[in-house]
Amino acid sequence: MSRAALLVLADGRFPAGGHAHSGGAEEAVKAGRITGAADLEDFCRGRLHTAGLVAASLAAAAALGVPARELDAAADARTPSPALRAAARKLGRQLTRAARATWPSDELDALAREFPKGAHQPVVLGLAARAAGLGAEDAAHCAAYESVSGAATATVRLLSLDPFAATGVLARLAPEVDLVADAAVEAAGRVRGEGCGALPAAGAPVLEIGAEVHAGWAVRLFAS
């Protein structure tokens, strides 16, 4: 594998549209659940161990070659909010386009044909990692880190939070990101024998409910 390829895929500037999404932070800020760096850390930690763990395991399983169709259905079942399912597919479509241009591969072409409206983003991320010559661990790390980095960046804009404080949150979460990625890879490795039921299903009720509330707003800074 190429360590530099991992940096390209994980780079926040990778043109896959992630910057337009706040990972639920916009709604949480408006509702007063995030008011500063301490709340942001708590928010990100909860997100990491729920949505982040699920995304990381989907990405790892896709990187291991589990069929995208199965993983996409598993992602649907783990995402009760229709607003979040739509956001995940939109991000998946954008990532498919960027990844195909960056790391041309038959598998990504097939994915684009099979899911013209986009597959769930973590599934695409796993296949993009595969196309880039990366492994399941890399894919899981990317997904787990993305599950918190987007919310942290968005909160800087939403609250005019000190960017150093937000980066400090991410640095403090780094050991937990590693643990979540490890757990995700372990679960993904069991999918071949046990099916997609082996994937974690950790849910965050307030994130799901908040996403629906957010989708009902007339004016939003972020798409989700």
Partner 1 sequence: MTTAGGGVRARARILARHRAPGGTFLPVLESDGPLALRRTRAGGDEARVVLVGAMSGPLGGDRFEVEAEADTGARLRVQSAAATLALPGQSKSEARYDVRVRVADRAELCWLPEPLISVRGSDLRVRTDVDVAPGGRLVLREEQVLGRAGEEPGRLVSRLTVRTGGLCVLDQEVACGPGAPGGWDGPAVLAGHRAVGQVVVVRPEFGERPVAAGRIGDLCVVMPLAGPAALVSAVAADGLRLRRLLDEGLAAIG
- Site residues (CB under 8 A) for partner 1? 24, 28, 33-34, 39, 42-51, 53, 73-74, 76-83, 85, 176, 196-197, 200-210, 212-213, 215-216
Residue 63: both structure tokens together: 């990187």
Residues 6+ apart with CB under 8 A from 188: 57, 58, 60, 61, 63, 64, 66, 136, 140, 199
Minimum CB separation of residue 211 from partner 1 in Å reads: 9
Which of 81/121 has CB closer to partner 1? Answer: 81
Rounded CA separation 206/203 (Å): 9
Name the nearest CA neighbour of 136 among 182, 67, 78: 182
Which of 103/222 has CB closer to partner 1? Answer: 222
3 state SS of 104: coil
Minimum CB separation of residue 213 from partner 1 in Å reads: 6
Minimum CB separation of residue 5 from partner 1 in Å reads: 30
Which of 20/209 has CB closer to partner 1? Answer: 209
Distance, first Cα to last Cα, the chain: 33
Which of 99/169 has CB closer to partner 1? Answer: 169
Minimum CB separation of residue 40 from partner 1 in Å reads: 9
Give the angle subtended at the CA of 188 by the CAs of 187 and 189, to the nearest 5°: 90
Would you say 127 and 68 are in contact if contact means Cβ atoms under 8 Å apart?
Answer: yes
Residue 184: both structure tokens together: 């995700």
Amino acid symbol at 168:
G
Which of 98/202 has CB closer to partner 1? Answer: 202
Residue 30 burial (10 A CB sphere; 0-12, 13-18, 19+):
middle
Minimum CB separation of residue 41 from partner 1 in Å reads: 8
Which of 156/209 has CB closer to partner 1? Answer: 209
Minimum CB separation of residue 87 from partner 1 in Å reads: 13
